[in-house]
Structure 1
Amino acid sequence: MEVVMVPYLLALLFLPLCLMFILRKRDSSSKSLPPGTCGWPLLGENVEFALLGPQKFIKDRMEKYSAQVFQTSIMGEKMAFFCGAQGNKFLFSSENKLVTSWWPQSMKKALLFPEFVESSLKQVSALKRSFLHDILKPEALKQYIPLMDAMARQHLHQNWDSNRVVTVFPLSKKYTFDLACRLFMSLVDPEEIKRLADPFTLVTNGMFSMPIDLPGTAYHRAIKGGTMVRDELMRIITQRRKELTENQETSGRDLLSKMLLVTDEDGQFMSEMEISNNIIGMLVASFETTSSAVTSVLKYLAELPHVYDQVYREQMAIAKSKGAEDLLTWEDIEKMKYSWNAARESLRLTPPAQGSFRETITDFTYAGFTIPKGWKTFWSVHSTHKNPKYFSDPEKFDPSRFEGSGPAPFTFVPFGGGPRMCPGKEYARLEVLVFMHNVVKRFKLEKEIPDEKIVFHASPVPVYGLPVRLLPHGN
């Protein structure tokens, strides 16, 4: 009896699973899903994405499946990769209509308080994007240019001037983080900044790694680092709220004070946790990607003497028009046209941000394929930036591409586009140009490792951090 019953019971157990599989398969086959593969069970195509790097991964699948949209499975999610200028335009213009912002669960666990991990990004960010745009638009940022210049001079004096060789990437990370802490929270104490910087580096190094929270893994270190960052931010925020209450301040002296003073439609102030979430988001956007951008620009200046020479001439013309102690102004930045074209060409060839995720909020059709509700989508710089359809001789470094009207719309997208375009675009432009100005005024650059490879972490970085030899002018 028992021998007979076991297969019978197994059949009863597996019958519903089989029916579910058949129904799901019938449902998916009734829809024309984008071509592609979801890879291995559980693993998806994470391994291929990591081994190939995002650029080759996307290029290979565009050639094999579709140059418009293909499906894959990354980070445990069914995902549609949208390609080309049309794909970028479609996703940028579909915000809050067909798609909404989304972060991978692994990233949210590393960055946010546990109470917010299951929340949507809209719920996490109590801060309106209009508020961010107001404080990060050119008119508001003009006042920060002299401080950016002063901090760049101080950074180079302390960390570059007395050395024959420096490693650019870690130093650019130090500069960008110090600057963000000063501008966002008025932090100047090196020890206080270090209490944020050290654990924050753990977060950025591990938040896109395999999400295995076990001792010894990069992701485990990211989780621990995130807790330390949040604890330190909560201490800073609580102290600032106390100061504002005691001093009865009505206008904020920095981003943190402005956040503490802003209210929603119901007159409610943001909580300390909500402010911490927003500052962490700002630090992520201004730290890893901007330091990667600075590093890439200096890499090309070290590799390409003809580009360096034109940048040097432009920057020295600005320097000679000022007194030795005069700090940069908005008018000076506006004169850096060739330098910004060179920086943009660097952003095209080595984009610091790879793209952005969205989540579909309804079924919709694109290029003849159905993208089901609940799927994740991704647009990527790598489907256009080196695509010969949009940029002739795409591997060549050519700043003249940005003269006149520049590249075709939705082909050059290092900051995204549409209503979700990175609000920190202008901040990044100023930071890169101010740093370029101060470096080329002091030094010529030569790479210590001519064929140093680029690897992808959260952003593309040189394997050895880009060590360069500093050659003072006149030597």
Structure 2
Amino acid sequence: MSLLLLSFLLIIPILLLLRRKRKPSKRVPPGSLGIPVVGQSLGLLRAMRANTAEKWVQERINKYGPISKLSLFGKPTVLIHGQAANKFIFSGGGNAIANQQTQSIKMILGDRNLLELTGEDHSRVRGALVPFLKPESLKRYVGKMDEEVRKHLEMHWQGKQQIKVLPLMKTLTFNIICSLLFGVERGKQRDQFLDSFQEMIQGMWSVPINVPFTRYNRSLRASARIQNILKEIVQKKKIELKQNAASARQDLISFLLGMVDEDGKQVMSEKEIFHNIKLVMVAGHDTSAVLITFIIRLLANEPAIYAAVLQEQEEIAKGKLSGEALTWEDLSKMKYTWRVAMETIRMFPPIFGGFRKAATDIEYDGYFIPKGWQVSETLVCVFLYP
């Protein structure tokens, strides 16, 4: 009897194992994960730098269909394509999707930036940033931006027979960012800032392998240098605000330092200020530079549109004194110019995509996406990262 019982006990695990094997597994999309860690990251990065990312995505869709698996930036990935996928992602997937970026972006910008925060922390930091960045607040900075544009044109455009637009637009947007966000004027500190910033953003989309001489490693070191510069700026502005030698409205850093809650406590910590200043820098730099570049290309290739924009600008200039700065009221008169800018954004979106995370287990179109997988939407597809 004991021998029969022992035999039965030994057979139970085997029966359970066989039953588990017969149970159908969750459906996994077709495709290959490629080389561990690297996967298809290098191919996508090459396509993005060559401005052929849409073609790269379309080739995968042609090969595997609208849903496929691959590996990007050190993580297994699911690519989902189509209007239904974009609607699902942009609507939040029924609260199934939360904010989260790739490891490289998180480490370069810092874990206290707005894209990484959730719940009360997200609301608190967003509430601190939005008042300064909304159009009503930006009205007072139109003259400062106009001054930067005038200086830029004098230095880099006037008298030149040939120019490269995109690099110059990146320089222009960076100078406006330095003036508007930090109050850092032209000089040695701004030049150091620019060199480190350009090196930092090169590794935003990269395989997160932190070894010497990699793009990711160089970006991390550049990010650390930027944070040290920001520390110096913050300490200087703290002293100026304490001595009433500066206004809390003169730039973003001063504004954030001056924000306190009901108990008189600073709303954002210094670490949060550093990380979110880097976020605002990145968010406003390449996107603006790319958009302005495409607008200039459009005006160069479409004489009728160029003539209409020029006429509108000349009408506004007639009402200004020589050298007088633009105002918010002048900008409100640029209705045709604004429509040209909006149409350019529609035709040539300056952002390839962003990243989120599955907050719960998700079933989509017959496939299973486990909780914790990262989600990235692009203009032509949606990427999902575990």
SS at match of 2:243: helix
> 2:352 and 2:26 mapped to 1: Cα distance?
29
Q: Which residue, 38, 41, 50 being the options, matches 2:45?
A: 50
Distance 1:316 1:363, change over 3 A: same
> 1:102 and 1:174 mapped to 2: Cα distance?
29
> 1:165 and 1:285 mapped to 2: Cα distance?
29
Partner of 2:369 in structure 1? Answer: 371
> 1:39-78 maps to which residues of 2 (within 5 A)?
39-53=34-48, 54-67=53-66, 69-78=67-76
Q: Partner letter of residue 61 of structure 2?
A: M
- RMSD (CA atoms): 3.3
Aligned residues: 359
What TM-score do you get using the length of structure 2 for normalisation?
Answer: 0.81
2:303 equivalent to 1:305: yes
SS at match of 1:274: helix
Contact 2:112 2:276 survives alignment (8 Å):
no
Contact 1:33 1:371 survives alignment (8 Å):
no
Partner of 1:432 in structure 2? Answer: none
2:33 equivalent to 1:38: yes
1:363: Cα distance to partner? Answer: 0.7
Partner of 1:187 in structure 2? Answer: 184
Runs of 4+ in 1 over 6 A off after TM superposition: 117-120, 123-126
Partner of 1:276 in structure 2? Answer: 274
SS at match of 1:61: helix
> 2:262 and 2:84 mapped to 1: Cα distance?
37
Q: Partner letter of residue 323 of structure 1?
A: L
Contact 1:360 1:375 survives alignment (8 Å):
yes
1:315: Cα distance to partner? Answer: 2.1
Contact 1:99 1:359 survives alignment (8 Å):
yes
Contact 2:177 2:281 survives alignment (8 Å):
yes
Q: Which residue, 287, 294, 297 being the options, matches 1:296?
A: 294
Distance 1:333 1:161, change over 3 A: same
> 1:301 and 1:340 mapped to 2: Cα distance?
13
What TM-score do you get using the length of structure 1 for normalisation?
Answer: 0.67
Q: Which residue, 210, 226, 229 being the options, matches 2:226?
A: 229
Distance 1:242 1:168, change over 3 A: same
Distance 1:237 1:309, change over 3 A: same
SS at match of 1:247: coil
Q: Partner letter of residue 315 of structure 2?
A: A
Q: Which residue, 102, 113, 120 being the options, matches 1:104?
A: 102
Q: Partner letter of residue 170 of structure 1?
A: P
1:122: Cα distance to partner? Answer: 0.5
SS at match of 1:146: helix
Distance 1:42 1:209, change over 3 A: closer
Q: Structure 2, unaligned stretches of length 5 or more?
A: 1-16
1:259: Cα distance to partner? Answer: 1.0
Partner of 2:216 in structure 1? Answer: 219
Q: Which residue, 333, 336, 339 being the options, matches 1:338?
A: 336
Q: Which residue, 321, 325, 328 being the options, matches 1:327?
A: 325
What percent identity do the matched residue pairs reach? 34
Contact 2:113 2:272 survives alignment (8 Å):
no
1:217: Cα distance to partner? Answer: 3.1
> 1:442-461 maps to which residues of 2 (within 5 A)?
none
